[in-house]
Amino acid sequence: MGCVFEVGEETVWHPASRVGETYLALAGGLAGLVGVPTGITATAADFHRVDIVQFDVFTKRVFAEYFRSGHELRRTMVDAVLRPSIVMLVRGGGRIEPATEEQRLYLVEAGQLASAMPAQRS
């Protein structure tokens, strides 16, 4: 069993159920903090549609929030949602343009998480 996140007909992430539930809970909390919806809607208990336009706005707001803070613990908490969000955004056709070298390096590191984020349904 797993959790499926789809952009259109493409699966952008298929984590284990508890991993997906954890991501959704954390992303929902951050959405309230950054003031925009995630763009993720449950269509069944384990299937979620990702509105790529809304998700793009959400991910970019979280990205800005991450770099706005210099607080190490706060960054660690935001990071838990941001890295998987970046991978899903890129898989869904989106992109974040870095404004600094620190941001560019972060995006490269986030992209390396993709190998740990299955997108194939078993």
Residue 57 falls inside a structural domain: yes
Output the CA angle 96-91-118, nearest 5 degrees: 130
Q: Please tell me the number of Cα atoms within 13 Å of 93 on its side-chain side.
A: 11
Tell me what pLDDT residue 2 has. Answer: 86
Mean pLDDT of 50-61: 98
pLDDT surpasses 70 at 121? no
pLDDT surpasses 60 at 65? yes
pLDDT surpasses 60 at 122? no
Mean pLDDT of 17-22: 95
Residue 22 falls inside a structural domain: yes
Looking at the structure of the chain, the number of domains it has is: 1
Residue 92 falls inside a structural domain: yes
How do residues 23-38 score in pLDDT, each as one tens digit?
Answer: 999 999 999 999 999 9
Domain that holds residue 72: 4-116
> pTM for the whole thing?
0.95
